[in-house]
A = this chain, B = another copy of it.
């Protein structure tokens, strides 16, 4: 992108580095194949691992006979869930290697290490597993029924959220309630209630999961892998293998996409276990894409009922939502993301939100970019759009009437800090896209809004000064989206130096303080806060050094505009840094962040579609995404984040979804069948960056990465309604479903 799509509405101080678009140092290496990813790891005497996966959606494992596999020349170890420590009740362990029963098609049952990947794969066939198939349930609504097959024996919440004696598939129920929704609905002029269903979708990162582990004879475990967070891998491997975190060192390589799906471990503990059982030879494991789709965590399928009522003046008088989210085989659906987001943009006196975490015979879900939000907002924003229409109010005006702002209380409790949501709505209403002619028949324009809270999380950063005055910055944050650069920019801004004078790297777990993974749109924000503090500490040290070198008191040394001055002297940062660090001890500073000060993001999306009445195919014609980013540290990366998030949202809206057969077997386990959007499906997506500073960050940064995926399904559904007159209640809004809706409407 060469156009700068920024609108500074209420930003911070003028900046010299923030807001520029330097090129990432690693980009060239990435596009020329020289960057090192996990699959590039090669160690001496390295073995290769492979995973045997369940062909059943639900079955009891009667027996596993490894003997024939172990007899295959080249095989060094075969492991199953029985090789993990503990009493077998840990969901995490069960998911990594099944214990007693398999709970989804693709569930890992055993793993092999061998001298070549081919032998390892061959050996899988020689592991004799006897299964007793059990009835499976893949649908979240069916799984909640009292007569549904039960996956786990230890869940006792019924479909109404009450404790029950018998075993169920409901892991938990959360409820937020405010005021008196029934009274609110009585005050409404118009009420809309609809039920929505969304399918399981996968993050679709390009790079499959991989891990190489070396479990040495001294009990030290080193793991090289593709992850969003090395410290998270360390903790999970420790938990699964029952060893202290101090014995584990995790070295994160470059990552080829994560989007939430690379926080959880799958191969890492298995590779370590195989290494241990193979006499300490390193073991490398790389998934095929079929394993990524069937065996790793996608996001939740869901059933959502939303009811909203509004008065004639457009004020929403009450809103209720019932959200049942499929957790996959083990509890952990993103209820917080769903319930905190579903009504986030609306100022509501009366609301009730019920969220259900439901286990089904699908892979255990993982985070996916604003986890839980896109489904919920698809439901709520479709209903809101319909409400506005029935009241004869422009949808953005309707949003303005109901818009939350600083000091309003969120459904989940906290008060909103300063957010830019009203500015986002204003910007959307002013945007030329809104009044541009549609230019043809069967076309429609939809809008949708969303607010995403984002995460804080702990971060550590450290920086040191080199002999040439350049600064080395290191953090524990894995770089998914250019954060090495955006963190370097924040340090350069703090120090008043060109960003080219900062080199930024991600450290392994042995080399930096604890840092949460790169999730929750938190890195530029929370790690950025630590980096800013590191910069302040470097400056403080250099003031001391300058005073020493110049023979004046530290109080007489000023730092301004990248220069130290005092006693008639003046030196730029780099020159003083170089001189000072060669004269005495090296200059180095560390700082950490607790993640406080999170600034929620908000967005409004405008989309034009054309619906082919013959085929039901939806073509996206134009897409505009307006977002409050707080402070655009690196506008090009933010534009890329928004374009990427919208692209994923379009895939979710129109193409993607897991397809199961009647026995619960996943049918679309390749990227030919699991239909990610391609460039022919996507328009040029225009991002608009608003800068309404987050007071919780020294430069005003808000998390930005997750927000863009939230409004697209809703915006597209609303556009389809405008183009074709059908209100879609199911994702993906595939051609077949749209045709069905068209036929039903014309019938």
Contact = CB atoms under 8 A, between A and B. Distances in A.
Contact of A216 (B34, B459, B510, B593): B34
16 contacts: A26-B218, A28-B218, A32-B216, A33-B45, A34-B214, A34-B217, A36-B44, A245-B466, A246-B468, A246-B503, A249-B505, A464-B513, A474-B512, A511-B511, A513-B588, A585-B593
Nearest to A473: B510
Contacts of A245: 466-468, 470
Given A40-B43, A507-B507, A590-B589, A514 B462 contact: no
A300 interface: no
By Cβ-Cβ distance, the 8 closest A-B pairs, closest first, are: A28-B218, A464-B513, A513-B588, A585-B594, A42-B42, A505-B510, A29-B216, A585-B592
Contacts of A507: 507, 510-511
A29 B593 CA distance: 36
Given A29-B280, A32-B216, 8 more contacts: A28-B217, A40-B43, A460-B464, A464-B514, A514-B586, A530-B585, A585-B593, A586-B594
A23 to B, nearest CB: 8
A45 B596 CA distance: 45
A514 B44 contact: no
A28 to B, nearest CB: 3
Contacts of A530: 585
Interface string A438-473: 000000000000000000001110101111101010
Nearest to A27: B218
Identify the interface centre among A235, A458, A509, A512: most chain B CB within 10 Å of its CB. A512
A593 B584 CA distance: 8
A464 to B, nearest CB: 3
B244 A468 contact: yes
A536 B244 CA distance: 25
Interface in A232-272: 235, 244-246, 249
A632 interface: no
A734 to B, nearest CB: 39
A280 B33 CA distance: 9
B592 A590 contact: no
Interface in A486-526: 501, 503, 505, 507-515
A575 interface: no
A14 to B, nearest CB: 27
Interface residues of A, number: 67
A462 B590 contact: yes
A581 interface: yes
Identify the interface centre among A44, A244, A590: most chain B CB within 10 Å of its CB. A590
The majority secondary structure among interface residues of chain A is: loop
Contact of A44 (B26, B40, B214): B40
B587 A513 contact: yes
A474 B511 contact: yes
Contacts of A246: 466, 468, 470, 472, 501, 503
B458 A585 contact: yes
B29 A472 contact: no
Contact of A581 (B35, B514, B591): B514
A25 interface: yes
A220 interface: yes
Nearest to A504: B510
Interface in A4-54: 25-29, 32-36, 40, 42-45
Contacts of A512: 462, 464, 474, 511, 588
Given A27-B218, A503-B246, A280 B34 contact: yes
A415 B111 CA distance: 67
B36 A586 contact: no
B587 A590 contact: no
A175 to B, nearest CB: 28
A593 B470 CA distance: 19
A467 B468 CA distance: 37
Contacts of A28: 216-219
Contacts of A587: 513, 592
A725 B287 CA distance: 75
A509 B245 CA distance: 24
Interface in A592-619: 592-595
A25 B249 CA distance: 13
Nearest to A584: B594
B42 A43 contact: yes
Contacts of A515: 586
A326 to B, nearest CB: 30
Contacts of A513: 462, 464-465, 472, 586-588
Contacts of A510: 472, 474, 503, 505, 507
Given A40-B43, A510-B505, A29 B217 contact: yes
A273 to B, nearest CB: 16
Given A43-B40, A249-B505, A509-B472, A588 B29 contact: no
A693 to B, nearest CB: 22
A216 B34 CA distance: 6
A220 B280 contact: no
Contact of A29 (B32, B220, B505, B591): B220
